[in-house]
């Protein structure tokens, strides 16, 4: 059996930030670089290295920014993945609202996670 899960991937340039709304229950993953994020209601700084994930619990705005590590290439983009909450068919989720246009990743906004039994 193959399970296909949707997600959104976008890239942030060096020191570029995005403000996102309606993300409660979503999971944000840093795919390719170190990123900083904060939740409007959470109020704390969160640092993610490539492969790290953060479950977004607040219903307010989330700000995410590319934040190169000291000594890293300063012009490297950060790829961010947003995965929707796990739901049943009875409960629907909606795509988040971006504050301004994000650059889509070359492989597109929908990808898959395959699982076989």
Residue 39: which CATH number?
2.60.120.10
Q: Is residue 1 part of a domain?
A: no
Asked if residue 55 is part of any domain, the answer here is: yes
What is the greatest pairwise CA distance in the chain?
Answer: 48
113 CB contacts (<8 Å, ≥6 apart)? 3, 4, 5
User: Which pLDDT value is given to residue 77?
Assistant: 86
Model pLDDT, residue 56: 92
Per-residue pLDDT band for 60 (boundaries 50, 70, 90) equals: confident
* 110 domain residue, yes or no: no
Average pLDDT, the chain: 76
Give the model confidence (pLDDT) of 86-113 as tens digits.
764 445 666 666 655 445 444 433 333 3
User: Counting Cβ atoms within 10 Å, is residue 32 exposed (0-12), middle (13-18) or buried (19+)?
Assistant: middle
Place of tokens 């307010």: 60
Domain assignment present for residue 97? The answer is yes
The verdict on residue 115 lying in a domain is no
| The predicted structure's pLDDT at residue 92 | 62
Print the domain residue range for 25: 8-104
Residue 109 domain flag: no
């Amino acid at each position: 059996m193959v399970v296909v899960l949707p997600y959104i991937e976008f890239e942030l340039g060096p020191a570029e930030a995005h403000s996102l709304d309606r993300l409660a229950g979503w999971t944000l993953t840093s795919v390719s670089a170190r990123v900083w994020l904060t939740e409007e209601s959470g109020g704390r700084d969160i640092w993610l290295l490539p492969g790290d994930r953060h479950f977004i619990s607040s219903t307010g705005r989330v700000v995410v920014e590319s934040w190169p590590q000291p000594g890293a290439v300063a012009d490297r983009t950060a790829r961010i993945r947003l995965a929707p909450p796990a739901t049943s068919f009875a409960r629907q989720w909606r795509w988040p609202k971006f504050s301004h246009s994000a650059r889509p990743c070359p492989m597109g906004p929908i990808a898959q996670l395959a699982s076989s039994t």
